[in-house]
Structure 1
Amino acid sequence: MEPLSRVRRVVLAVRRAVLRRRRLLAAALTAVAVAAGLHAVAAPPERTTGVVVAARDLPVGAVLAPGDLTTVDLPPDVVPPDVVDDPLGRVLAGPVRAGEPLTDVRLVGPDLVAGRSDLVAAPVRLPDAAMADLLRVGDVIDLVAADPQRATSHVVASEVPVLALPGDRDLSGASALPGRLVVVGLGGRDLGPVSVASVRSFVTFTWSSR
């Protein structure tokens, strides 16, 4: 009977110890349950994607260099369509603000006429750089070919949208030619006359009244 009595004494001792510490054990179990619940309902980390944006305010015509760009993480649902992954060396068609993603329509190139199958993007040199300073992207103009020797002029393209105003200095570092390039949207029938006028005449503009 002695071994049985010893077992009973051990069981009673353990029971007394548990009873003395029941509050501590209850608190510990509660803490474990709360932690498990919080872990179960915690939202998963938000998914993001890296997007190239302007590191600072940039002017129209800027040639994009490494210091002009940075990458930020954005939720996929706020990333604009047609973001350009590697815009280094491209020319800005318009000014951009710091933090603005670089999309295809912000850069000089064929995407300037995206959605306009009736137009092509074409550079036209105006003889006076100050004349080009009067223009803004989005203006609609008529292109006029002027022949100083014959004292004649005629409209070679009407209702032409101005797509970009990159300066020659921004494109090549230095330009031996006078005037300034502008990028316009030309219809198929206007491309030939404007190209010929650019070689044979001075091309100027008037604001379209139509």
Structure 2
Amino acid sequence: MPSTTFRPAVTTPDPPAERAEGPRARRRRRLTRRWLAAGLVAAAGGIAVSTLAPPAPTTVTALVAARDLPVGALLGPSDVRSVQRSADTLPGGLLTPSAATGAVLASAVRTGEVLTDTRTAQASLLVAQPAGTLAVTVDVGDPALLAGLGPGVHVDVLARTEDPVTGAATGAERIASDVVVLRVPTASTGDGLLGGSSTGMPGTGSSVLVAVEAATATRLTAAAGRTVVAVRGT
């Protein structure tokens, strides 16, 4: 029987990976790593910037003058416009659209100037009154009547007549009929009708402001100190 010679199989080792890839493949791999590293750095930088950057400022709506306006101007819708401003740059006391309409400017303003409560006087007492109406202070006569008076109440104004020689009372005459009360003094402070001291007003602490036409205003002024207010029934 012939003899068999055993020969072990020879295995050829694989070439190294870098040798198999070749120089061009190695360059592509290095470039890819560099681009990935650069992308990670950029992403980290963006996150850091977004974290450190301050938030966008909060904006609010403010009313500004639509044109140059003089002191005493009665504000209307065409005199103001709305703008968006950063809340950090605006003062307090901003006027709202409802408060601005009918308000009277206490000082002149320029176009684009922000309107606040300090720029305006109180809303006009004569809004919705007929053109030419005047606001006049009238002594009530009896302070007890003040409890029944308030804005919107209609009253008659009587004036005491006197003897021109002796000054004695001779009667009374009606010098204003069915006039509306605009304002009464505040019971808590006793201040004047417009918020200041009532010194110099007839019947300090018992006077009211009424709306009348020019001729009646003249008669009421002439009768200062002699008037009596009578409340009209509804």
TM-score norm. by structure 2 comes to 0.47
Residue equivalent to 2:158: 144
Alignment partners' CA distance in 1, 2:146 and 2:228: 9
Q: 1:172 matched to which residue of 2? A: 197
| 1:187 paired residue among 177, 190, 213 | 213
Whichever residue aligns with residue 144 of structure 1, its letter is L
With over 3 angstroms needed to count, the CA separation of the structure-2 counterparts of 1:206 and 1:174, relative to structure 1, is closer
Question: For the Cα contact (< 8 Å) 2:159–2:227, is it kept in 1?
Answer: yes
Cα distance in 2 for residues equivalent to 1:173 and 1:189: 25
Residue 209 and residue 11 in structure 1: after superposition, are their counterparts in 2 closer, same or farther (change >3 A)?
Answer: same
**Is contact 2:202–2:224 with CA below 8 Å preserved after alignment?**
no
- Whether contact under 8 Å (1:169, 1:175) holds in the other structure is no
Does structure 1 conserve the Cα–Cα contact (< 8 Å) formed by 2:136 and 2:212?
yes
Cα displacement (A) at 1:10: 5.2
| Matched residue, 1:155 | 174
Give the deviation of 1:169 after TM superposition.
Answer: 3.8
In structure 2, what residue type is equivalent to 1:152? G
Structure of higher CA gyration radius: 2
Matched length? 159
3-state SS in 2 of match to 1:48: strand
Deviation at 1:105, TM superposition (A): 7.7
The answer to whether the 8 A contact 1:105-1:112 is kept is no
Tell me whether 1:72 sits opposite 2:92 in the alignment.
Answer: yes
What is the Cα deviation at residue 187 of structure 1?
Answer: 1.5
* Alpha-carbon distance in 2 for matches of 1:189, 1:85: 27
**Residues 73 and 49 (structure 1 numbering): CA distance in 2 closer, same or farther, change over 3 Å?**
farther
Check conservation: 1:136, 1:165, Cα contact below 8 A: yes
State the Cα distance separating 1:157 from its structure 2 match. 0.6
* Percent of aligned positions that are identical: 16
Measured on the aligned residues, the alpha-carbon RMSD in Å equals: 4.7
The aligned counterpart of 2:137 is 123
Cα deviation for residue 77 of structure 1 reads 5.5
TM-score using structure 1 length? 0.52
Partner AA of 2:126 in structure 1: V
1:17 corresponds to 2:33: yes
Unaligned runs of at least 5 residues, structure 1: 36-41, 51-70, 88-99
Cα 1:13–1:44, aligned 2, differ >3 Å: closer, same or farther?
same
Residues 155-185 of structure 1 show CA distances to partners (whole Å, capped at 9, x for unaligned) of 1111111112236644336569645221111
- Quick one: structure 1 residues 178 and 86, their matched pair in 2 at CA, closer, same or farther if it must change by over 3 Å? closer
